[in-house]
Amino acid sequence: MANVRDIRRRIRSAKNIQQITRAMKFVSAARLRKAQERVIAARPYAQQMLSVLNSLATRVPERSHPLLARRDGHRIELVVITADKGLCGAYNTNVIRHALEFIAEHADAPVDLNILGRRGRDFFRRRSYSVRQEAINVLQKPSFADAVAIARDIIEEFVQEKKDLVWLLYNEFKSVVQQRVIVEPLLPIKKLAGMEEAHLIEYLYDEPAEKIFNNLLPRHVESQVFRALLEAAASEQGARMTAMDAATKNATEMIDSLTLYANKVRQAGITKELIEVVSGAAAAGT
């Protein structure tokens, strides 16, 4: 049976861990509020632009712009967004697992990875996967400038016909306790399904379509990448907040259990000493 000193040492260690996890929970809660506000503000613009461009891509010929072009090749780039840090439950594990499933489903096509986040980079760097590009520290404070740099690199690869398809994989923020892994196409801009050409409305443009697309389509890719970064950042903070809350509760239960055990050990020691004293006194009296 462990002595009281060892048990009290374990209780102090559990209390120290509890303080750390509680502090991390509060920090994540503060960061989550800001990240959630940015996500909610960015969603309407990105979703409406996606809807408009999907509709527009259905009405115009693919040769109108390189980002609309659908090619026969199957060279794929998968943009995987993970966190830079751990202690956020199954957040990174779920993203990596979906990435591996995507690669397995497209085993007949070459898949290059574009990794955003230290956890994903470290995982795939230790394994024999093709990683074309990587970046870290983009989820700490996601900025539109970071999204622009990432999007321009992706656009350049696609326009130069080095890639035929580009997909995004990230965690979408649903609530503090729920995040959903999303795998969605980024390039080429997809057309709306189920719309016949006879029912499409022809639009008149004040400027040449090429000029409009040159300004609008790259902006669309940048906004979609930025939205994915914001979603991933909010999801990370929500997952970390939930994980740290669970860890704090587990530490509390452990402290209570160890305290009860320490009291039992101390009581058993006192009882043993009393028995020894009484037994010694009885032996001396005889």
Q: Which two tokens stand for residue 123?
A: 């995982």
Q: CA-CA distance, 138 to 65, in Å (whole number)?
A: 29
Q: CA-CA distance, 179 to 171, in Å (whole number)?
A: 6
Q: CA-CA distance, 32 to 193, in Å (whole number)?
A: 36
Which DSSP letter does residue 101 get?
H
Q: CA-CA distance, 81 to 104, in Å (whole number)?
A: 18
Describe the strand order of the beta sheet including 178-187 as a list of residue ranges. Answer: 131-135, 111-116, 76-81, 165-175, 178-187
**Contact (Cβ atoms closer than 8 angstroms) between residue 265 and residue 4:** yes
Q: Which two tokens stand for residue 127?
A: 């394994």
Q: CA-CA distance, 23 to 263, in Å (whole number)?
A: 29
Q: Which two tokens stand for residue 14?
A: 């559990």
Beta bridge partners of 112: 77
- Indicate if 253 belongs to the active site: no
Q: Which helix (H) or strand (E) holds 260?
A: helix 209-285
Annotated active-site residue in 42, 53, 79, 88? 88
Q: Count CB neighbours of 119 within 10 A.
A: 21
Instruction: Tell me the three state secondary structure of residue 189.
Output: coil
Q: CA-CA distance, 133 to 155, in Å (whole number)?
A: 13
**Contact (Cβ atoms closer than 8 angstroms) between residue 169 and residue 98:** yes
Active site residues: 88
